[in-house]
Chain A
């Protein structure tokens, strides 16, 4: 059987993944290095009767997709650095109102306008804590076009399952690298559809009353159940409330619905982890370099391994601790000043085993960069 093989940028793999997942509505504002996502969707969405709109800024783009999601649509926006900062207020609204949506941040060098055309992984902590207030969030990432496709579909699925915004944290290198993509056939990857309420018309529907399994069935705006959505603390009716017991319940629900499902949300890839004496922990484009080294050194008999994280948040601390238990050295490879390093140190026993191999000057982290770090940790010098 002929396979659908294309040669595309990571950004296009994201677009194809989103369409595969059933994207209906996209709103965005151009910014390098994410712009191709908007350009491609402006062409492909109308062709399937979907909606594309270029809004006046990233704030309104984020708001527009939330509005569209509440009418029952699968929605996405895409941006980078400065635009991701602007989205935070409405992202918090999506968290509070439990509105499914996907936000793609193709990371570039920051802070501020920073390095528009350079790769970086500097937004890992912003993705976790960019919005104010206690909350939990799902953040996925990917290291190559094939995985970008799959993780984009996952992002839509998790958004629906957990009724939450999901951030897809790509980076300039992955977004702009053109490579082979084998397009999955329909049905090859599971696509989760929205869970809608079965409460009949005329019977009270509570938008924020979890079922026994913790999930919250939705009712589309324009449907038979007229309900209220607010960013204020609210009760099960969606009405504002500042009663301590209501607020307490809401806060726990928002955090627990994600934090207690870490295993279900965690996606990883493992390469020679089991007997690794030196274990690299990496993600996104940096993981490509890490994988290159691991394969290369294994061929020479050196016991290197790679744990590639595809779910960054909620951070899979227990899994990382377990996988790192027998390694002598753990090297976190990332293109920032140690944003995941801190999480790995927190997670593992004997955190003095954990070192950072990074690059923050806008260049892509190379095998030589990482090998030099490894030599230092092994006391061999550069």
Chain B
């Protein structure tokens, strides 16, 4: 099928700025779903609030555009109630790691079979460029005009520490690997986290001396390296990409089925 078979034309034009990386992630998600031959009626996309969160409306699945930071909590209700559905949760970095940080670590801890895609543009895009928990120390933002003094989370470490059983990182420059990673994440039985570095030239780049989308994309090429590469040894500042965690662990809905079984026998 073509990409257009997975989107809702009624919803367009989209609201993303020229050069934004979020559209690339949407296309990759569609490709992954197509490659996996998943049925549209079986797909649920739950998002929060932010530029990233608008992705849910554009996709022709069962879609929920919810509250800032709360997408995983809504998704938990959907998934536990109908475990046979495939649930994707695209989130912004603020959405996932600031206001939604608590829901994020608890969804990971439960290992509920939901795929969280963190569209990390290192900034609050929708509200106009305030710093997020993934804005680096020293970066500029509308609320950090003298430079950010907060230290950023490492999403991969955060998700791993919280118990996610699939954790990966990729970028909008690496589209084909991103599609492959998304396929694996969706098929993984358990809580999957895919962090995608996504350029925001408008709200982040402009303020931080990298105003062109092309330059930002190139920086993903030069500043990242596959997990365990020689380059990383030479240059420890490089950001690793690839699959960090992929483990089979008891999944929440499957565990709940055991509870039902025990309950039917009485305590």
B-binding residues in A (CB < 8 A) = 24-25, 27, 43, 46-47, 49, 51, 53, 55-57, 59-61, 63-71, 73, 75, 89-90, 93, 221-224, 226-232, 237, 239-240
Contacts and interface: CB of A to CB of B under 8 A. Distances in A.
B158 to A, nearest CB: 15
State the majority secondary structure of interface residues on B.
helix
A354 B5 CA distance: 65
13 contacts: A27-B76, A55-B106, A57-B102, A60-B70, A63-B74, A64-B80, A69-B77, A221-B82, A221-B85, A222-B41, A222-B82, A229-B66, A230-B65
A55 B73 contact: yes
Contacts, number: 130
Interface of B: 8, 10-11, 40-42, 44, 46, 56-57, 60-67, 70, 72-78, 80-82, 84-85, 102-103, 106, 256, 259-260, 262-264, 267
Given A222-B41, A228-B57, A90 B67 contact: yes
A335 B131 CA distance: 46
A53 B76 contact: yes
| 6 nearest A-B pairs in the assembled complex, by CB-CB distance | A67-B77, A64-B77, A60-B73, A63-B73, A46-B263, A68-B81
B41 A71 contact: no
Contacts of B73: 55, 59-61, 63-64, 67
Contacts of B66: 63, 93, 229, 231
A274 to B, nearest CB: 48
B78 A221 contact: yes
Given A25-B81, A67-B64, A69-B77, 20 more contacts: A47-B263, A53-B80, A55-B73, A60-B73, A60-B76, A60-B103, A63-B73, A63-B76, A66-B74, A67-B77, A68-B77, A68-B78, A68-B81, A221-B85, A222-B82, A222-B84, A226-B41, A230-B65, A231-B66, A239-B11
Given A228-B56, A228-B57, A64 B259 contact: no
B80 A51 contact: yes
A96 B62 CA distance: 18
Contact of B65 (A46, A51, A232): A232
Contact of A63 (B70, B84, B263): B70
Contacts of B41: 222-224, 226
Contacts of A239: 10-11, 57
A61 B259 CA distance: 20
Nearest to B80: A51
A229 B256 contact: no
A226 B41 CA distance: 7
Contact of B67 (A53, A75, A93): A93
Contact of B106 (A25, A56, A70, A227): A56
Given A53-B76, A67-B46, A226 B81 contact: no
Contact of B82 (A71, A93, A232): A71
